[in-house]
Amino acid sequence: MEYLLDGFLKAIQLLIYGDEETFSAVIATLELSAYAMAASLSIGIPLGFLLGYFDFRGKKQVRLVVDTLLAIPTVFIGLVVYSFLSYRGPLGHWGLLFTIPGVAIGQTLLALPIVIALTAMAVETMDSQLRVTLMSLGADRRQLFISTLREVRYGILTAAMTAFGRVLTEVGISMMVGGNIKWHTRTITSAIALETNKGMFAMGMALGFVLITIAFLVNISVSFFRKR
């Protein structure tokens, strides 16, 4: 137990004195998470709404594919993205391999099925009489769309939180596409794995505390907005 206490105390020191290596991983994590969440929400919410709101031929098959992608391994996504962004891949000329935007592309692919599936589920479980009521009151398509989104806002919020949790704690994509490059693409989770294997338990603990703190602050913020 002594090494746990010692690691805890050293972790507190690293955070208090602003260790540059520690905060470099934190900044990289926040940056790529912001990119991934912005892309996945802007694409996933409209697609999830369409999937849950409308009936069309092949809807069950599309839903099956989306639900299957929820369980796709992160290392497979990393492999696919790596193959596309490598210098021999079709997108190699973009120069995104071993960069934050490159990792964000992989994490967007990870979060997108979550946002689509949970948004569609929220729309499907909505009161079926809402649309009839709104149309009977003379609502146009824009008002119908906005009112429906407002009705399922908590479900969309749950989808966003679930996707954010998956993105924040992801390791495989960050390691394969980002290369875990120090001061550049090393994230909190990849740094924890690396530093712990090197015996640098204190830094791993410090980064773990930061990861928990970020998740806690995000949950507090979401809870505040839900009350509002």
184-221 core/surface letters (b: 16 or more CB in 10 A; e: else) = ebbbbbbbbbbbbeeebbbbbbbbbbbbeebeeebeee
Return the pLDDT at 31: 92
Per-residue pLDDT reduced to its tens digit, 43-61: 999 999 889 888 888 888 9
What is the distance between the terminal CA atoms of the chain, rounded to a whole angstrom? 44
CA distances from 27 to 185, 188, 210, 214 (A): 10, 9, 11, 12
Tokens of 3: 């090494």
> Residue 73's closest CA among 145, 171, 144?
171
Which CATH topology does 27-183 take? MetI-like fold (1.10.3720)
pLDDT-based confidence at residue 1 (cuts at 50, 70, 90): low
pLDDT-based confidence at residue 223 (cuts at 50, 70, 90): confident
- DSSP state at residue 92: G
Per-residue pLDDT reduced to its tens digit, 180-215: 888 888 888 888 888 777 777 777 777 788 888 888
118-137 core/surface letters (b: 16 or more CB in 10 A; e: else) = bbbbbbeebeeeebeebeee
